[in-house]
Chain A
Amino acid sequence: MPQLNTDSIKERTFDAIVIGSGISGGWSAKELTEQGIKTLLLERGRDVKHIEDYPTTNKLPYEFDHRGEVPLEIREKAPIVSRCYAFREDTMHFFLKDKEHEYIQEKPFDWIRGYQVGGKSLIWARQTQRWSDLDFEGPKRDGFVVDWPIRYADIAPWYSHVEKFAGICGNKDGLKELPDGEFLPSYPLNAIEDHFREQVSKKYKGRYVIRARAAHISKPEPIHLEQGRGQCQNRTLCQRGCPFGGYFSSNASTIPWAMKTGNLTLRPFSVVHSIIYDEQKGRATGVRVIDTNTKEEIEYFAKVIFVNASALNTNLVLLNSTSRRFPNGLGNDSGLLGKYVAFHHYGGRVSARYEGELDKFRTDGRNPAGCYIPRFRNVYRQETDFLRGYAAGFSASRGFYSDTAPIGEQLKENLINRKLGGWHIGSHMMGETIPKESNYVKLDPGKKDEWGVPLLRVNVDFDNNDEKMLRDYFDQFSEMYAEAGFTDIKTSRTENPPGLDIHEMGGVRMGHDPKTSLLNKWNQLHACKNVFVTDGACMTSTSTQNPSLTYMAFSARSANYAIDQMKKGNL
Chain B
Amino acid sequence: MQRRTVIKNFVIMAGGIALLPSCSGDRKKASILLKNLNTSAEQEALLAEIAETILPGTDAPGAKSMNLHLFTMKMVDDCHTAEEQKLFTKGLNKIDQMAEDKYGASFAKCTPEQRKELLVQVAEDKDVPKEAAAFLRITKQRVIQGFTNSKYVMTDLKQYEMVPGRYNGYFPVEKN
Contacts and interface: CB of A to CB of B under 8 A. Distances in A.
A361 B160 contact: no
Given A72-B81, A364-B166, A407-B53, A67 B145 contact: yes
Interface stretch (A132-140, A315-323, A415-423): A415-423
Interface in A328-366: 359-366
B37 interface: no
A535 interface: no
Interface in A153-202: 187-191, 193-194
Contacts of B78: 65-66, 71-73
A67 B72 CA distance: 12
Contacts of B165: 233-234, 365
Instruction: Summarize B's interface: helix, strand, loop or mixed.
Output: mixed
Contacts of B145: 67
Q: Which of A65, A359, A360 has the most CB of B within 10 A?
A: A65
B157 to A, nearest CB: 6
Interface stretch (A55-63, A121-129, A220-228): A55-63
B145 to A, nearest CB: 6
Interface string B132-154: 00000000100011111111011
A495 B144 CA distance: 31
A360 B163 contact: no
B169 A408 contact: no
B60 A416 contact: yes
B160 A60 contact: yes
B134 to A, nearest CB: 16
A412 interface: yes
B16 interface: yes
B17 A64 contact: yes
B9 interface: no
B66 to A, nearest CB: 10
A235 interface: yes
Interface stretch (B39-47, B88-96, B102-110, B116-124): B116-124
A365 B123 contact: no
B1 interface: no
Interface string B66-80: 000000001100111
Interface residues of B, number: 50
B168 interface: yes
Interface string A52-89: 00000010111111110101110000000000000000
Nearest to B84: A72
A363 B168 contact: yes
Given A364-B166, A366-B167, A416 B173 contact: no
Nearest to A61: B149
A66 B79 contact: yes
Contact of A407 (B81, B116, B149): B116
B12 interface: no
B165 to A, nearest CB: 5
A166 B154 CA distance: 34
B171 A362 contact: yes
Given A66-B79, A415-B148, A61 B168 contact: no
Given A62-B16, A66-B75, A407-B53, A415 B144 contact: yes
Contact of A65 (B17, B116, B120, B150): B17
Given A60-B155, A65-B17, A408 B116 contact: yes
Chain A interface bracket (under 10, 10 to 19, 20 to 34, 35 or more) = 35 or more
Interface centre among B78, B145, B153, B154 (most CB of A within 10 A): B78
B159 interface: yes
A404 interface: yes
Nearest to A396: B169
A193 B169 contact: yes
B54 A365 contact: no
A60 B156 CA distance: 13
Interface in A466-488: none
Contacts of B25: none
A463 interface: no
A367 interface: yes
Contacts of B160: 60-61
A60 B153 CA distance: 12
Given A365-B166, A416-B60, A416-B153, A69 B172 contact: no
A571 interface: no
B82 to A, nearest CB: 9
B172 A360 contact: yes
A406 to B, nearest CB: 8
A362 B173 contact: yes
B58 interface: yes
A372 to B, nearest CB: 16
Given A363-B171, A411-B54, A412-B58, A71 B79 contact: yes
Given A71-B79, A72-B79, A190-B169, A412 B55 contact: yes
Contacts of B116: 407-408
A62 B172 contact: no
10 contacts: A62-B154, A64-B17, A66-B75, A67-B145, A190-B170, A194-B169, A361-B171, A407-B53, A407-B54, A411-B54
Interface of A: 58, 60-67, 69, 71-73, 187-191, 193-194, 233-235, 359-368, 400, 402, 404, 407-409, 411-412, 415-416, 418, 420
Given A62-B17, A71-B79, A420-B176, 8 more contacts: A65-B17, A233-B165, A235-B163, A365-B167, A365-B168, A404-B140, A415-B144, A420-B173
